Amino acid sequence: MKFRPFDRTGFSASEIGLGCWQLGGNWGTVPERTAMEILETAFEHGVNFFDTADVYGGGRSESLIGKFLQQHRDDRDDLFIATKVGRDGSLYPYHYTKENVQKCLHGSLERLGVDVLDLVQLHCIPTEIMQDGEIFEWLRDFQKQGLLKHFGASVESMYEANLCMQQDDLTSLQIIFNIFRQKPIHTLFDTAQANQVALVVRLPLASGLLSGKFDRNTSFEEDDHRRFNRDGEMFNVGETFAGLPFEKGVELADELKELLPDNLPMAAWTMRWILDHDAVSVVIPGASKPDQARQNAAVSDVKPLSDELHQQLAQFYESKVKQHIRGPY
């Protein structure tokens, strides 16, 4: 596993982290034992950065990470837990008060079993609340009080990313970035690097599409967002299949497969493509099985793609993909 500086924090983050939404819910059921094995497998393969949120599984994801931290007390300083606040029913969409945010943070502290939160990311809060900016003042106060070490934001669009970056002391931005969503390269990367803002990449596999394992007939469980939010029925359409209609995404993934070398699984090449961008600090693939966590961690050892292939993939995105993306971008 290779490590990259998590910008101003001084922490060296494994370039492949673990997305822990799956450990909470909305991806079918991941039993507790499997969830703990996923965390252990990722850790054994060098992962030290874990992304979660207070609302994943109503707190289940954070509680399981808390249990994992208990079992790894001696490694605590080498692990970085990035959580989120802002989508709990007490806040979202328009009930943001300092008191309510503080209550949510105390919930995270309790579930994770820690004295201070490593990183709190605003969790896709409404653009107007970001524009208003008062919420960042609250986060600064909570930082002074010792509730959190760093704060950042998880955003839906490049407009929001650049808006949040106006906060001088923002540590990180979490964005959707993958071969199907290349816009951040031209609209964010240079500014983020110049401002020393760490970039956390979610949906590296476009909810699994970029592993090439789905076909048009693939079906998902009822409690899986790839069923109930397929067309953005419940939340931002971009969070499911990176905003592509499922059938179009399958068709594009099949075409993409033909462009990539076949000596490694497609998921390895599509994630390697992300790591080839220096502005990226950490990629956080989600895993519903321990073996996925192992395979994903191994991507750090894969050699970069050639410049020629990068050009081909830029062309593929420009000509075939971008016009099909739905939702804020």
Please give the residue ranges that form the binding site for ligand NAP (CB under 6 A). Answer: 19-22, 27, 51, 84, 123-124, 154, 174, 202-208, 211, 213, 239, 267, 284-288, 292, 295-296
CB of 100 to ligand NAP, least distance (A): 19
Q: Which of 145, 173, 65, 80 is nearest to 118 (CA)?
A: 80
Nearer to ligand NAP, 247 or 311 (CB): 247
- Asked whether 109 and 139 are in contact (CB, 8 A), the reply is no
Nearer to ligand NAP, 213 or 277 (CB): 213
CB of 318 to ligand NAP, least distance (A): 21
Nearer to ligand NAP, 194 or 234 (CB): 234
CB of 12 to ligand NAP, least distance (A): 20
- Asked whether 50 and 79 are in contact (CB, 8 A), the reply is yes
CB of 150 to ligand NAP, least distance (A): 16
Nearer to ligand NAP, 301 or 311 (CB): 301
Q: Which residues of 241-274 are buried (b: 16+ CB within 10 A; e: fewer)?
A: bbbbebebbbbbbeebeeebeeeebbbbbbbbbb
Nearer to ligand NAP, 112 or 287 (CB): 287
CB of 47 to ligand NAP, least distance (A): 13
Distance CA 235, CA 269 (A): 29
| Helix then strand then coil, % of the chain, to nearest 5 | 50, 15, 35
Q: Please tell me what DSSP assigns to residue 105.
A: H
1 token code pair: 């596993």
For 117, phi then psi, to 5°, come to -85, 135
CB of 177 to ligand NAP, least distance (A): 10
Neighbours of 320 (CB within 10 A): 15
Neighbours of 149 (CB within 10 A): 15
CB of 144 to ligand NAP, least distance (A): 25
Distance CA 228, CA 106 (A): 30
Nearer to ligand NAP, 107 or 285 (CB): 285
Nearer to ligand NAP, 74 or 204 (CB): 204
